[in-house]
């Protein structure tokens, strides 16, 4: 049997609540292994945080892992600070010191996705806190099964064995629930140094490893990888050379291997593999290279190469665990950008199955996820994507969700499994298309999407436009928000997630009607810009015309045709748009109507576009 290779790099994540002593602990680990330049250590003897009680001339270990000036001023860790050291067994250790504040959990989650071992720190005086459980849960979801649970500041309790056992018992149910089978619970004093690198004499009752011993004794030899995945990052062209550039993970490629390009499913053979150091016959895990195929089939950034013998079937429906990182809630039916490696595609969260109660581990029903909450979702992508189960591959089973308006990363996802329904649904093409159906009616199919406050005049203008078009012999249909809520959307309320689903359903119906060759008029408050933009993307350029009926809120309230403003004023409609809920005006609507003008004037403006 071959001797397993020692992994050359061990990635260690350190996390815990604020003031539990993470920075001090890691600073001491670095100093006592001589992994910090001596001039940096000298600085840590003279520089002090505000409010520091460390005696003059002593080392403030916590300064050694803080990378931002703001962190020193506030006495907290904001960003993930990285340091490296060499272990006694020759492995290189990269330490990611993650922030403890709850609002910076996103930084910790990202660091966990790339970590082999986690250090979760507890303050003995505070015991197990919600943030401790959140960090353990994220570590488990991110596939970090090797966890050192370090109970710090036992010097405050005279190094009490009873205190250590009390906290160990508190954390045990979460450890068992999360299946952290390769964990250790280590008592330490980061301030004094016991059990960080050296045993010390204050806790002779403890017979387990020191923190350093636990880390460097991990056997992180790579498992056998038989499902290579090569994500194309860009097309490299030099003279007659055309290579597919990217990084290979999860296995090996050999010259002569037959591969499949996904999602197109085209086949080719690897004719050459090139790096800066020359050509390769075999390429391995995490190797960056250029691949030349024969024949030279069409491939683009975001495509993926798999061995033809075990190619991953692309799918467009997945169940996934997700850590929500966005300041705005996760809303099902709203569109995001899903990015995995070099591949990106629009995606919609179709279902929030549950959120995880981090204290009990129970699955609670949820309609949204708030920042730092963890849940399980079902997600649908616009195009098939070759994602693995995260339990099989951390490299090819993860993704992020990006907000389409702000381009901020709002979610970190781990695929549980692809849904079989994605394999059983195939789009059918018919010879009679939308253009032919519209030509039969002597018109051009399109969607006129009226948006504005309640009482702005949307339905009134839509009705008048429909009458005039009908008189001209046009085939037109009005989709009115209130009418749809009496049938198709009667199950929806007026919260953000319900409004998102309302717009999604209406836009899909409008698309079908336009496909039938009709001129479709939508009269819908649709208060959120991102939902209207999502609707627009269903249509070809020029087929979706956003019409903003801009009427002052005061005039809308005076009109109050449905009595809604009166109810809102009485407190009976908390989600009334413009009062209890924001209306986001269009930024680039094709048509802007002045709702104070006569009906005839606004109708004529729309008729010029519609007919």
Render 224-292 in DSSP notation, one character per residue. P----EEEEEEEEEETTEEEEEEEEESS-EETT-EEEEETTTEEEEEEEEEETTEEESEE-TTEEEEEE
Residue 508, H or E segment? helix 496-515
Q: How many whole angstroms separate alpha carbon 29 and alpha carbon 39?
A: 17
8: tokens are 């050359």
CA distances from 575 to 486, 498, 565, 567, 570 (A): 19, 11, 11, 11, 13
526 catalytically annotated: yes
User: Which residues are bridge partners to 354 per DSSP?
Assistant: 376
- Between the CA atoms of 330, 336, 337 and 338, what dihedral angle is there, to the nearest 10 degrees? 50
Q: Which residues of 333-347 are buried (b: 16+ CB within 10 A; e: fewer)?
A: bbbbbbbbbbbbbeb
Q: Is 65 helix (H, G, I), strand (E, B) or coil?
A: helix
Closest CA to 288 of 327, 246, 328: 246
599: tokens are 């009906």
Q: How many whole angstroms separate alpha carbon 126 and alpha carbon 467?
A: 71
Q: How many whole angstroms separate alpha carbon 24 and alpha carbon 68?
A: 16
CA angle 453, 454, 457 (to 5 degrees): 85
C-alpha of 347 from chain center: 11
Q: How many whole angstroms separate alpha carbon 130 and alpha carbon 111?
A: 19
Q: How many whole angstroms separate alpha carbon 283 and alpha carbon 225?
A: 13
Peptide bond into 303 cis (omega under 30): no
Peptide bond into 295 cis (omega under 30): yes
CB 480 within 8 A of CB 521: no
Strands (E), 388-493: 398-402, 409-418, 446-451, 476-480
CA distances from 257 to 57, 163, 253, 293, 329 (A): 63, 59, 7, 10, 46
C-alpha of 582 from chain center: 25
Closest CA to 164 of 193, 129, 205: 205
Strands (E), 277-334: 278-280, 282-283, 287-294, 304-307, 315-324, 330-331
Q: How many whole angstroms separate alpha carbon 419 and alpha carbon 121?
A: 38
373: tokens are 């909450």
By DSSP bridging, strand 278-280 and strand 266-275 are antiparallel
Q: Is 406 helix (H, G, I), strand (E, B) or coil?
A: coil
Cβ count near 101 (within 10 Å): 15
- Could you report how far apart the first and last alpha carbons of the chain are, in Å? 78
- Of the candidates 17, 113, 115, 526, the residue annotated as catalytic is 526
Q: Which residues are catalytic?
A: 526
């Amino acid at each position: 049997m071959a001797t397993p290779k020692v992994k050359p790099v061990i990635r260690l994540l350190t996390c815990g609540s604020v003031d539990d002593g993470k920075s001090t602990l890691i600073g001491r680990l670095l100093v006592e292994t001589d992994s910090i330049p001596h001039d940096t250590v000298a600085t840590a003897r003279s520089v002090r945080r505000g409010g520091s009680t460390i005696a003059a001339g002593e080392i403030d270990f916590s300064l050694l892992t803080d990378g931002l000036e703001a962190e020193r001023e506030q006495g907290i860790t904001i960003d993930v600070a990285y340091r490296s050291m060499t272990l006694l067994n020759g492995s290189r250790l990269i330490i990611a010191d993650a922030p403890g504040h709850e609002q910076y959990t996103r930084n910790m989650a990202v660091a966990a996705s790339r970590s082999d071992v986690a250090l979760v720190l507890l303050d003995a005086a505070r015991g197990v806190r919600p943030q401790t459980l959140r960090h353990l849960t994220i570590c488990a979801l991110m596939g970090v099964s090797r966890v050192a649970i370090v109970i710090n500041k036992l010097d405050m309790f005279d190094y009490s064995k009873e205190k250590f056992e009390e906290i160990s018992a508190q954390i045990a149910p979460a450890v068992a629930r999360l299946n952290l089978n390769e964990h250790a619970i280590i008592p330490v004093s980061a301030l004094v140094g016991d059990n960080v690198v050296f045993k010390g004499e204050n806790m002779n009752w403890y017979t387990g490893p020191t923190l350093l011993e636990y880390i460097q004794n991990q056997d992180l030899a790579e498992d056998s990888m038989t499902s290579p995945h090569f994500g194309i990052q860009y097309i490299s062209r030099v003279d007659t050379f055309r290579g597919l550039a990217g990084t290979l993970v999860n296995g090996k490629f050999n010259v002569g291997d037959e591969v499949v390009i996904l999602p197109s499913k085209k086949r080719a053979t690897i004719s050459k593999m090139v790096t800066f150091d020359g050509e390769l016959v075999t390429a391995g895990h995490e190797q960056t290279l250029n691949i030349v195929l024969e024949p030279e089939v069409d491939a683009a950034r975001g495509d993926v190469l798999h061995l033809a013998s075990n190619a991953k079937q692309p799918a467009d429906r997945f169940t996934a665990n997700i850590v929500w990182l966005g300041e705005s809630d996760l809303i099902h039916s709203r569109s995001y950008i899903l990015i995995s490696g070099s591949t990106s595609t629009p995606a919609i969260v179709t279902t929030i199955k549950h959120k995880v109660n981090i204290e009990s581990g129970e699955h609670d029903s949820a309609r949204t996820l708030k920042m730092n909450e963890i849940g399980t979702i079902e997600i649908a992508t616009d195009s098939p994507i070759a994602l693995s189960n995260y339990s099989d591959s951390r490299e090819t089973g993860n993704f992020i969700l990006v907000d389409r308006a702000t381009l901020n990363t709002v979610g970190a996802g781990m695929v549980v499994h692809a849904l079989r329904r994605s394999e059983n649904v195939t789009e059918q093409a018919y010879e009679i298309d939308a253009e032919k159906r519209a030509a039969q009616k002597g018109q051009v199919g399109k969607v006129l999407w009226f948006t504005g406050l309640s009482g702005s005049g949307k339905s009134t203008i839509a009705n008048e436009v429909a009458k005039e078009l009908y008189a001209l012999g046009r085939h037109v249909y009005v989709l009115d928000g209130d009418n749809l809520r009496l049938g198709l959307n009667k199950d929806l309320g007026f919260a953000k997630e319900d409004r998102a689903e309302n717009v999604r359903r209406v836009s899909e119906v409008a698309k079908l009607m336009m496909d039938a060759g009709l001129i479709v008029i939508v009269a819908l408050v649709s208060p959120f810009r991102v939902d209207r933009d999502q609707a627009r993307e269903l249509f070809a350029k020029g087929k979706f015309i956003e019409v903003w009926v801009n009427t002052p809120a005061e005039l809308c309230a005076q009109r109050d045709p449905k009595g809604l403003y009166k109810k809102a004023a009485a407190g009976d409609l908390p989600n009334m748009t413009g009062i209890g809920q924001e209306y986001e005006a269009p930024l680039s609507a094709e048509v802007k109507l002045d709702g104070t003008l006569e009906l005839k004037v606004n109708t004529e403006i729309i008729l010029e576009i519609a007919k």
